[in-house]
Amino acid sequence: MPPTYSKPEDSPDPSDAVEPGDGGIPYEESINFAKRSLEQIHLAHHRRIMKLKQRHDVGIRPLLIERPLGTASELVPILLPSDPLSAVSLPAPLPTQLPVASDLLGGGRTTVSRTATTHAPAQAAAKTTKTTCTPSPTTSMAPSATWTRCSYVGRDGQINPDVRKLNGPGAINAISQYVLYGSISVAANKSSKHARGVVNAIDTFFLSPSTAMNPNMNFGQIVRGPGPEGSSGTFTGILDLRGLGKVVNGLMVLKSLGIPEWTTAKDQSMRSWVSRYTQWLTQSDIGKMSATRPNNHATFYVTQLAAAKLYQGSSEEAKAILTQFFKKQFGDQIAASGEQPFEAIRSRPYHYRCFNLEALIANAKLGDFLGVNFWNTRSKYGATIQTALDYAMACDPQGEEVVDLIPHVAAVAAAYGDPNGKYASFLRKNMVNYQSKPFWFYDQPAAFSERSSSGKLARSLSEGEDGQPDSPPTAPPPKIPFSCPDVFKDATSVEIDNGVFVTCDDLRPLYEAAVPQI
């Protein structure tokens, strides 16, 4: 039986060993990019590449990525293969595995710390006549027998350590970050060498028959154990490909530059991959389940689907997907106070508030690119993305990392303005060097076409918007009585994560809570 793993949490874990680039967040930077030194990152890249070079004699040359960051520019050396990647550069994936690309590209899950790990070799399921489960490893029952004979229990906010033996999510996050940064480097430096690096990486991960990832998440966040549940993924696994938005972003940069390295044939092949993934997202049981969740799972699902449609040239479909989300799930996601009840009910409320904000901001940015303003769209309780951000700023992290929130503070400040300086003050207090981070480069006000001050595009405001995101509200919105979220119309309890169910009564206190004092 192919290796499987117990369900990882749908978002970064502080003790996770794998570095994701920036968590695959479509447009925001990760905690580790904020906390980890560049020297450590480059050393890790160097070790991986040198190991690859010894195996396959691939020539290595440094790539300098110039990133204009606020008031400063940095030249960040990243080691890349200078020669085209051959089919033997990466081992062929097992039928149920994602390709092992992290040896080339580095990366892993978003974390606030990192520990050293090694990837254990795949082990076939052992045959046994034992009828009871024994903790592994033991002499009486092989670990693989435990994996297939023993039931696994999901615990919200906890990750099975065996997940760290897998490199699928890490490889996905690494490629997404690499494509985005590499494409920006091509635009900044006009270098064909940089372009070849990005194109080769895309070819290896998505296009080459011997190394390409299959265009589905059929085995994402699979839960070990007996029965059919132990042989297929869960709806939570779709989150692991949330970095697709970055890939689309980077490729659109390359296409706009008209670089010869990104050929028509490669573009058509990539469109085909994205089209097949889109079909799986919309037609598979796993995809349909994720699409109907009321929390971050649906928010990130929409990010992927809208970005995929955008890459396929279906701008109107992308607009419709985003509009439907902001009319439907978004309406119940933010209470009048700014609390996000479906995230706050979880075992790590601060973390999940930040996590859903990542996806909300990404979706608003996609809308911004398409000429539709979702920044001022209000939930049914009168709250906006800004309201949710302000609430999270006032919350006690309760052991979580406040840096989770920092990229989102920068994004909200750029989109809505900061007339009183509260966002700048928060950034200075919690990250002195925030202007040297990539998220600051992403979130300059000029990056938003739909800001009222830009005048580049006609505004397309949602109902109830005032068209003045730079101005503080003159009066609080009228208080709207609580009503059960729409997702409970046909159910008394709803699954918001694998094995995690909530009821309307569970959520009600969170909708009615007062705004915390900063």
Look at 199 and 456; give whichever has higher pLDDT: 199
Tokens of 434: 């925030």
Domain boundaries, the chain: 1-124+145-291, 326-518
Burial bucket for residue 175 (CB in 10 Å: 0-12, 13-18, 19+)? buried
Predicted pLDDT at 77: 33
Decide if 51 contacts 64 (C-beta within 8 A): no
The whole-number pLDDT of residue 67 equals 31
pLDDT at residue 359 in the model = 98
Greater model confidence, 401 or 59:
401
Beta strands in 311-397 (DSSP E): none
Highest mean pLDDT among 22-26, 132-136, 341-345: 341-345
Question: Is 510 or 21 the better-scoring residue by pLDDT?
Answer: 510
Higher pLDDT, 441 or 77: 441
Report, as an integer, the average pLDDT of 466-493: 74
Say what the pLDDT of residue 82 is: 36
Q: How confident is the model at residue 452 (pLDDT cuts 50, 70, 90)?
A: very low
Predicted confidence at residue 369, as pLDDT, reads: 95
Q: Which residues on neighbouring strands pair with residue 80, listed in sequence order?
A: 61
Q: Which of 12-21, 295-304, 310-319, 373-382 has the lowest mean pLDDT?
A: 12-21
Name the band, by pLDDT with cuts 50, 70 and 90, for residue 205.
very high
Across the range 296-312, mean pLDDT stands at 98
Q: What is the pLDDT of residue 515?
A: 75
Q: Which has the closest alpha carbon to 482: 387, 382, 349?
A: 382
pLDDT at 51: 53
Phi-psi region of 157 (alpha: psi -120 to 50; beta: other; left: phi over 0): left
Tell me the per-residue pLDDT of 28-85, one tens digit each, with 9 for 90 and over: 334 343 344 444 444 554 455 455 445 444 333 333 323 333 332 332 333 333 333 3
Q: Report, in this order, helix, strand and coil percent for the chain, each rounded to 5.
A: 45, 5, 45
The mean pLDDT of 5-12, rounded to a whole number, is 37
| Residue 66: strand pairing partners | 75
Q: What percent of the chain has pLDDT over 90?
A: 55
Q: ∠285-20-64 over CA atoms, to 5°?
A: 130
What is the structure's pLDDT at 23? Answer: 35
Tell me: pLDDT of 99 over 50: no
Q: What is the pLDDT of residue 131?
A: 56
Alpha carbons 232 and 386: distance in angstroms, whole number: 38
Reported as a pLDDT band with limits 50, 70 and 90, residue 136 is low
Helices (H) and strands (E) in the chain, counts: 19, 4
Weakest mean pLDDT among 93-97, 208-212, 273-277, 316-320: 93-97
Q: Which range, of 47-51, 306-310, 347-351, averages the lowest pLDDT?
A: 47-51
pLDDT at 465: 38
Amino acid present at 448: F
Percent of the chain at pLDDT > 70 equals: 67
Return the H-helix or E-strand segment holding 270. helix 264-283
Position 426: which residue type?
F
Residues of 395-421 as b/e, b for ≥16 C-beta within 10 angstroms? bebeebbbbbbbbbbbbbbbbbbbeee
Q: How confident is the model at residue 451 (pLDDT cuts 50, 70, 90)?
A: low
Give me the mean pLDDT over the 383-399 stretch: 96
Residue 150 tokens, joined: 């023993």
pLDDT of residue 152: 82
